[in-house]
Structure 1
């Protein structure tokens, strides 16, 4: 028979912010942990882990309670009988808040406080107040793909995204403004441009320029995911800064 795995958990009491440590095993039932807390003079009503109440009849191991690969001790939050409901609610809201890094492709970054259950749509609405853009003019990119409004960021382990300003919501190619063609300088390597793909603009940096039979194309590297595209026609681009920094 395999030996039960022993580890330490932090017990944090909601409302009072008191804390203690218990040595437990992964085969311990949640109800057994509550019983041990009662022996220590506490009256636990619920034990919570990652914002969810743990059922008494399940073992800690089956619920994923245990130290991380880096050795970080898990925390169980204890709601005691008689605890102030408002204090418990505030403590739960504090735990559910996360920080999302939003890298603005126009420059700079924003650290936005969001909740675990927030969708991309809610994040855009919060961002619109900070960057002074309508929410439907904001696109959020992750690993080179645009995130749809119904995605819950933290359900998908997304903690950092890129912000791209859209021309307008649902803009078609026919409605897009005329692009800026190649500047008069002979070499545009190092400049920033927007590359149009399916009606959206994606920011990139020019790596090199090619001129053949009076036709000019560029090799570019996208800022959001680092991918490189070769031989892009300038008619699909608009320039942002010239000369390059």
Structure 2
């Protein structure tokens, strides 16, 4: 007759086998959870996190060019973050040049009856990727389509119309050397005319937009655009 011995009981063996089989799954599950946490952290929208501190300016690199952008001036919510970006769209109240307090809401039913007056300078900053510069376009492209006659508009500001049946038909080129202002302006029609002025700074192109009727105070507008640039290019204190 065999004597009972604790060491002869085979029952604990399956438990050890079972534990050894489950161990890799626990390890893999831990690694997977850690990976999901890392990816979630990296992809989480940073503009949600920045609301808590709400810094007055954000350092944003566009075309490897650094701008200290007023946070409240950013028009597109997803652009409200630090670091490299392809493009940023901004708005500044004129003449104070402060960021707007709140966005305007106009419905499709009331847009024609209640069209608000434009009191803002809009600015888009985008990486140019070595495309033709605004100065090169002024020298080599625009002259092909301009009417040869020049017209004086306001206090040292000249205007030349683009010919019909050209890519810039229904637009005028306005320009001055001192202070410098170069802009393409659509003519007033069903909607008020808008002027577009472009500048290049290192790897970024800046495109300003403002109402055409502001040409009556074009010196102040030119100074305002320069002031916006200087403010965003000044290092943060």
Normalising by structure 1, report the TM-score: 0.19
Structure holding more helix per residue: 2
Write 1 or 2 for the structure with the bigger share of strand: 1
Q: Which has the larger radius of gyration?
A: 2
